[in-house]
Chains A and B, each alone.
Chain A
Amino acid sequence: MSDVRFEAPSSLSEAVKILAGAKGPSRALAGGTDLIVQMENDLLEPDLIVDIKKIPELRAIKPEGGGFRIGATVTSMEMIEDASLCAKWPGVIDGVKLIGSIQVKGRATMAGNLCNASPGADSVPPLVAAGALARIVGPNGTRESPVEKIPVGPGKTSLAPGEIIESFFLPERPRNSGDAYLRFTPRTEMDIAVVGVAINLTLDSAGVCTQARVALGAVAPTVLLVDECANALIGTRVDEAAIDKMAAAAAAACKPIDDKRGTREFRIKITSVLAKRVAQKALERARHTA
């Protein structure tokens, strides 16, 4: 590891100021479960690291407008241990739970997972399916962005220099809503998704799907939000025919590559298998939530 300047400011404005003033490569540090590993392996050599864990307002999960605001440095384990969040957004928790080990989850954050911009990030497809918004703070003020607009390619984000994620907002959900996420990995844990599928749907009182969002991970340079999949479910009772149509749309939408984690052909097949399984799980949850 080369010489690096380390700052740990206690306010958001100070963090933004330090990052915006950086001359060389810089990084915000949350849990560090990607950043430190990349530095250890000489994949990344920042001149400046700004630890944002000392900023109090980034550390909390708060109710807001019937939904939740989750600070950027809230760890995965803190989310998993929040009963009301787990009850409302079980699909988001599905994703968070799959990250690394318990030790890794004790440090890892969704903001870090998102800004690492890996197409295989487990918390991102469920956030996208949930319609989560990220609040971004930078030298030019605060802005809101749908989560899916932040990664623009492997390792690349749309954040401008000096910008950091302050929090995520998960909205209030209608009755009879359910979300779920599954990934495929050859190992049971400590692995990176070969394919990930998240589905968030809402049923009306007659059991007809009124809203749906389907997000696919690890099958394209960024997580895909696939309207064709949603359209295959909306207006149906999410029966087998609808699910098959949705799964076919998912397989058609993915644009995977062959790499060390899986082949293109295998990823496409698994996308369809997982899409069906996830739809069933989301449907079960929608039927059983008030």
Chain B
Amino acid sequence: MTTILKKPGFNPDRKYKIIGTSPVKHDGFDKVTGRAKFAADAFLPGMLVGKVLRSPHPHAILKRIDTTQASKVPGVKAIITRDDFPEIKQGTGGGDMTRLAMAREKVYWEGHPVAAVAATSESAAKKALKLIEVEYEVLPHVIDPVEAMSPDAPILHDYMRTKGAKGPDAEKPTNVVERHALGIGDVDKGFAEADVIVEGTFDTKPMHQGYIELQSCVANYSDDGQVDLWCCTQAPWVYRDRLTEILKIESSKIRIQQSELGGGFGGKTTFYLEPLSVVLSRKAKCPVKMTLTRVEVMRATGPVSGTQSTIKMGCKKDGTIVAVDSTLVFQTGPYTGSAFTNAPQAMLTRYDLKNVRTVSYEVVSNRPKVSSFRAPCVPQVVFGVEGLIDELATKIGMDPIEMRLKNAIVEGHKTIYGETFNRIGFVETLEAAKACDHYRAPVPKGQARGIACGFWFNRGGETTGSMNLAPDGTVTITLGTADVAGSRMSMAMMAAEELGIPVDRVRAVLADTHSLGYNRVTAGSRTTFSSGIIVVDSARKIITELCRRAAKIWNVPEEGVVFEDGVCRPASSNVGEFEPLSIKDIAHKTTYTMGSISGHSEMNVTGAGPGFAVHIVDVEVDKETGLTSVKRYTIIEDAGKAISPAQVEGQFQGAAVQGIGWALNEEYVYGSDGRLQNPGFLDYRMPVASDVPMIDTVIVEVPNPKHPFGLRGVGEVPLTPAMAAIGNAIGHAIGIRPRSLPMSPPKVLAIIEEARARGVLPAG
């Protein structure tokens, strides 16, 4: 069946007409003119406004909720609380999910929903929220994951026992969800061979995905129990199935239409408002629209895991890394789901290491549950790993890129997690970095340079899509993956290339959940790869059918027809003399042949090619204030084959900017009361345009042979080394490398003072 996975048909000598160009995106005009419909642009007649009442406490028992007075406010049509949701056992996947949507026994973070109101106006809804009486029994709270691991920390869930723990600890209530060990070889033996050993404890702070579009949805629960839901999501099918699980509504009765997405970065893989709006709509018997405010987004939607990594690393004088030992801690919010096992798998995968030990812990605390973000949990640990490699390179006097080349993996490498790599391009990426203008240029006076490398698996997974040929010879594609970064255009380009028609004759649209089979979440840098395979497979099915129709029109055997350059021709002169038939010619005659032509494909896609990147960054540090300015930044990365180079560059550049923010300033500030003090862009300091230089890019193309055009995912790799590269640059500027994010002015100034005291940075 799924022959394309076995025979992708990659041809290194193929000359492309469309792949590798950067046409204007078909969805681009509407976005720049403001006509694109995002989730908040959905309107239905009779629509109510829904608002959420949130806990002011980070940890409390929810003793009583009284909505009597609130329900008397004119205009209020429905109020929902925990009583409106089916009970699902605590500590199960569904149990966690329903409690994240609406608190039941306890509230677990400041901002946890405790009730929601639907009313005819926002002011009526807000008035009602104020009149809902909630009685809390406030409990001690814990925010920091390392503090949450201490024996006297407040326990969030009495029922929790550490998965993977051994001995007496395994029996005690704990905040540690899981202990996960992964390794190879003999670490002690490895360190015995080392000439130089470095070690350190690094910490990174939770950061927010920072999408501009606020989550919004409109739910319409009809009188006969059908749910229509419009929302911004990276995972329509996942949302549907989760709604089925926690609301006990059959999937065939839930139809989700994804809107344009104003940024997701992993943050729109988890629902917040959707279950509330469905239940409000059912109770109010009207459509209900809910939109988060920025403050709510900051207080109650998924940030990224904060981490602490203690890492020890040794190398020989020639640069060979001989051993790595690490203990890693990951914050997950009140429930499991940080995807923390990505980290031990990816943190060192690019180096050929014989002796590695990792022990990782996932820890609950009183913060909003973390959500995915470009390479979940990986950039955090790379900050430590690449920092220590930089220290080793400095100590043995080796060029940092040469040190990485010395240890770089190549095709055939078996990873720590068991996968054996096909063709990979890490060495080519390092060589390209060494040769690029930025690395060859001398470091400008007053500045310092850092480099770091990163890796991401890239993913495949369940994917479904359809392609239809219209009678005028144009093509439409129905996609199940979300368009988080211009993938509709990449799909149109791949279809046009395969069919041999201009890209303007193809349009791709995003399906609702009734229109296609299951599609896995749009994440893991899987979309252009997986849906791309579906698109090429569908196009090939259309081509097969086109040949069959040409044979019918010419009245020749099917094998007597070939498809080349967008036309069907006789396979040889023996078949007969016929004018070639274009797609348009055949499409025009489908009514007279066997009816419409379409291609459909569904498969669990495999063969995603891993990606590697090198970042080079020049910084200037103001030694009197600790302020770091990023002066020059270059990303060198293997894209396999850039379908649309402009979009690949956009991925690289966006990741660098997010990395700069995470590295330098982004931080949640909590008061001793466990309440967030900076829930907005004014004081949660994401970079602004003038904080970043133009990000230069070098696209390396070492094709992935498992894709018809050779592409690799590029969404996540480019974030992984960013903070490490900036940290290394700052370290070279001030003599001591920072080990804690954000590397904000007060922290860098304190390190400068320490460096001066230790004599590693000249005074004045």
Contact = CB atoms under 8 A, between A and B. Distances in A.
Interface string A35-53: 0000011100000000000
A186 B627 contact: yes
A188 B680 CA distance: 17
Interface string B111-144: 0000000000011001100000000000000000
Given A184-B625, A260-B669, A262-B746, A192 B682 contact: yes
Contacts of A259: 677
A158 interface: no
Nearest to A45: B126
Nearest to A3: B123
A186 B122 contact: no
Contacts of B746: 262-263, 265-266
A187 B127 CA distance: 37
B625 A270 contact: yes
A2 B123 CA distance: 5
A186 B683 contact: no
A261 interface: yes
Contact of B690 (A3, A188, A261): A188
A289 to B, nearest CB: 27
B664 interface: yes
B127 A2 contact: yes
A142 B634 CA distance: 60
A262 B665 CA distance: 12
Interface in A15-35: none
A62 interface: no
A72 B678 CA distance: 30
Nearest to B753: A269
Interface in A72-94: none
Interface in B664-693: 664-665, 669, 677-678, 680-683, 685, 687-688, 690-691
A186 B624 contact: no
A1 interface: yes
Interface in A234-282: 259-263, 265-266, 269-270, 273
Given A1-B122, A260-B677, A190 B688 contact: yes
B682 A186 contact: no
A64 interface: no
A2 B125 CA distance: 10
A183 to B, nearest CB: 11
Interface residues of B, number: 27
A191 interface: yes
Given A186-B665, A189-B688, A260-B678, A1 B683 contact: no
B678 to A, nearest CB: 5
Contacts of A187: 665, 685, 687-688, 691
Contacts of B654: none
Contacts of A42: 126
Contacts of B664: 186
Nearest to A101: B688
B123 A1 contact: yes
B494 to A, nearest CB: 39
B685 A191 contact: yes
A41 B680 contact: yes
Contacts of A2: 123, 126-127
A266 B745 contact: yes
Contact of A266 (B123, B677, B685, B749): B749
B730 to A, nearest CB: 14
Nearest to B680: A41
Interface in A188-213: 188-192
B556 interface: no
A186 B295 contact: no
A41 B126 CA distance: 12
A189 B678 CA distance: 17
A188 to B, nearest CB: 4
Interface in B358-403: none
B744 interface: yes
Nearest to A273: B624
A31 to B, nearest CB: 16
Contacts of B688: 187-190
A266 B748 CA distance: 11
Nearest to B122: A1
A186 B669 contact: no
A5 to B, nearest CB: 14
Nearest to A276: B624
B43 to A, nearest CB: 20
Contacts of A266: 745-746, 749
Nearest to A270: B625
A192 B685 CA distance: 10
Interface string B278-317: 0000000000000001010000000000000000000000
Contacts of B665: 186-187
A153 to B, nearest CB: 19
B687 A41 contact: no
Contacts of B123: 1-3
Interface in A51-74: none
Contacts of A263: 746
27 contacts: A1-B123, A1-B126, A2-B126, A2-B127, A184-B625, A186-B685, A187-B665, A187-B685, A187-B691, A188-B688, A188-B690, A188-B691, A190-B682, A190-B688, A191-B682, A192-B682, A192-B683, A259-B677, A260-B677, A260-B678, A260-B683, A261-B683, A265-B746, A266-B746, A269-B749, A273-B624, A273-B625
The 7 A-B residue pairs with the shortest CB-CB distance, nearest first, are A266-B746, A260-B669, A188-B690, A260-B677, A273-B624, A260-B678, A190-B688
Given A190-B681, A259-B677, A260-B677, 20 more contacts: A1-B123, A1-B126, A2-B126, A2-B127, A40-B293, A41-B293, A41-B295, A184-B625, A187-B685, A188-B688, A188-B690, A190-B682, A191-B682, A192-B682, A261-B683, A263-B746, A266-B745, A266-B749, A269-B749, A273-B624
